[in-house]
Structure 1
Amino acid sequence: MTTDLVLPGWLPPAQQATLRSLAERNAAAHGEDLLGIVLSGSAARDHATVHSDVDVIVVLTDEAAAGRSTSHSPDVDEAVDSWTELQTRAPFGTEDWWFRWSYAWAPVLLDRTGGALADAVRRQATLTPEEADAVLVDHDRLDGWLNFAYRALKNDRDGRPLETRLDAAESVPWLLDVVFAMAGRVRPYNKYLPWELRTHPVDGWPSDVVLDLVQRTLAGDVGAVRETYARVREACASYDAARGHTRTTDMVEGWGDELPLFEQRAG
């Protein structure tokens, strides 16, 4: 079976040589049990620095993967996935959820499955409509964002600047889960947030707008919190219309008499 790799053009020659050697070594060790190789980490996204190594996921049959574990070297981190593991999408809130974004926009260097491996990689970093609903509503990420945003606004109203900043900052991870879940995507690791927003835009959330709101929110700017609320309300309406329900809008409306605090204007 072939071990010819499809390598991104941005990889330097030394890394390309390292990956070819890795592929040949795994092919020799596993034969037909080697199903594919996926590039991950900074190198996969043309985001590497002089300090970056190469992160690779070697996909093997279940039997072959049982005898392998992740290996580390100064140049390469070589993780191993079984075919079953790659096809299993961990639910939000479970230990393995954290790893799902490692497959986002990850180039498949070798696919011996006729495209099934590439499809499985794509599915890891995307959410079904039901998964998105679960993140937003069942796991309370939308309500959680509203809660921390509301606490920040109350603290500002009551003259507590440090407390305002703390709650505003704590709202940001919840907000990012909301933004990406509504787009049917797993939230990126913080390191890749600006990169993903700029290279793979989210409808309704322009990269410069999101990054500005995040930075101002982290600084305790309640104006940014209120601007974000207006965008979230609009996003909920669009999301619910596409899903054919009113679950996210109902969750926002459930705040009832507290909502005017989100809608106040400065001054």
Structure 2
Amino acid sequence: MLDDLLASPDVVGLILSGSQARGTAGAFSDHDVIAVVRAGGGHPASGSLDLAVLTVDELADVSDRWQRYAYRGAVVLLDRLDGRIAALVAAQASLSPSEVDAFVREYLDGYVNFVYRAAKSRRDGHDDLARLEEIEAASWFLWTLFALYGRVRPYNKYLRWELSRYPLPSPWTADRLVVAMADRPSSLFPDLEVVARAGGFGDVLDAWPNLDLIRSYAVSG
């Protein structure tokens, strides 16, 4: 099937993504391939080849935030548009300066919101509800952290791979993040506050009137 795609004049790009591209494939991994075509169309998955078909315009559309990590570490197998396919893949897998600003402001505010809710629940003696708020906070934290460094949030499955291949500055090690995400994401607030303020996002934090409660909870739980 791959040979047929390579031979088709309608196919202007082929992209290998997923575990095969990232070198993490296991016994049950298939081959995730994206065919970029001049016009719309569709092909079913075939055997170990899991095929998605996109037009060039669809590949250029970065509005699906969650899907963008699929292009991180992707391998462009075919580019008949003189580098445009590769450029579009790169744009999917990273954030522009304007996207960094928008993403950080949105997700940092959301993360602080859930930490604040967790702090209030713990203060009021509702440890179980505080735990639920902590669970919600994890995703918002990861989006914030990676956006601060111009990157899209990795899928949980690839968090260790991402930080092994593309490390973040200290203290953001894979071991620390995985443990904190599974246990208490609020514990990372003090370090995130430092990075956020250094990046020019202190106004997002200062818009919250209860930072002392949030800071105290983050440190003591």
TM-score by length of 1: 0.76
CA distance, structure 1, for counterparts of residue 88 and residue 220 of structure 2? 48
Residues 69-113 of structure 1, C-alpha deviation per residue, up to 9 Å, x if partnerless?
1421231111112122222322xxxxx333221111101122223
In structure 1, the residue matched to 2:56 is: 83
In structure 2, the residue matched to 1:104 is: 72
1:128 aligns with 2:96: yes
Map 1:1-267; keep pairs closer than 5 Å.
22=2, 24-28=3-7, 30-31=8-9, 33-61=10-38, 63=39, 66=40, 68-90=41-63, 96-137=64-105, 140-204=106-170, 205-217=172-184, 225=186, 227-240=187-200, 248-256=201-209, 258-264=210-216, 265-266=219-220
Kept in 2, the 8 Å contact 1:35–1:59? The answer is yes
CA distance, structure 1, for counterparts of residue 157 and residue 180 of structure 2? 17
Cα offset, 1:172, TM superposition:
0.5
CA distance, structure 2, for counterparts of residue 162 and residue 229 of structure 1? 20
SS in 2 for 1:72: coil
SS in 2 for 1:36: strand
The range that moved more, 182-191 or 161-170, is 182-191
SS in 1 for 2:51: strand
Corresponding letter in the other structure for 1:255: W
Cα offset, 1:167, TM superposition:
0.6
Corresponding letter in the other structure for 1:216: D
Please tell me the root mean square deviation across aligned C-alpha atoms, in Å. Answer: 1.9
In structure 2, the residue matched to 1:14 is: none
CA distance, structure 1, for counterparts of residue 18 and residue 43 of structure 2? 15
Q: Which has the higher contact order (CA 8 A, sep 6+)?
A: 2
Cα offset, 1:215, TM superposition:
2.2
CA distance, structure 2, for counterparts of residue 113 and residue 45 of structure 1? 24
Cα offset, 1:34, TM superposition:
2.4
Cα offset, 1:54, TM superposition:
0.7
CA distance, structure 1, for counterparts of residue 199 and residue 43 of structure 2? 39
SS in 2 for 1:51: coil
CA distance, structure 2, for counterparts of residue 47 and residue 182 of structure 1? 26
The count of corresponding residues between Structure 1 and Structure 2 is 218
Cα offset, 1:238, TM superposition:
2.3
CA distance, structure 2, for counterparts of residue 196 and residue 125 of structure 1? 12
Corresponding letter in the other structure for 1:83: V
SS in 2 for 1:73: coil
CA distance, structure 1, for counterparts of residue 89 and residue 220 of structure 2? 46
Corresponding letter in the other structure for 2:180: L
TM-score by length of 2: 0.90
Q: Alignment identity in percent?
A: 38
Structure 2: runs of 5 or more not aligned: none
Corresponding letter in the other structure for 1:263: R
SS in 2 for 1:150: helix
Cα offset, 1:124, TM superposition:
0.6
Kept in 2, the 8 Å contact 1:70–1:77? The answer is no
SS in 1 for 2:220: coil
Cα offset, 1:147, TM superposition:
0.9
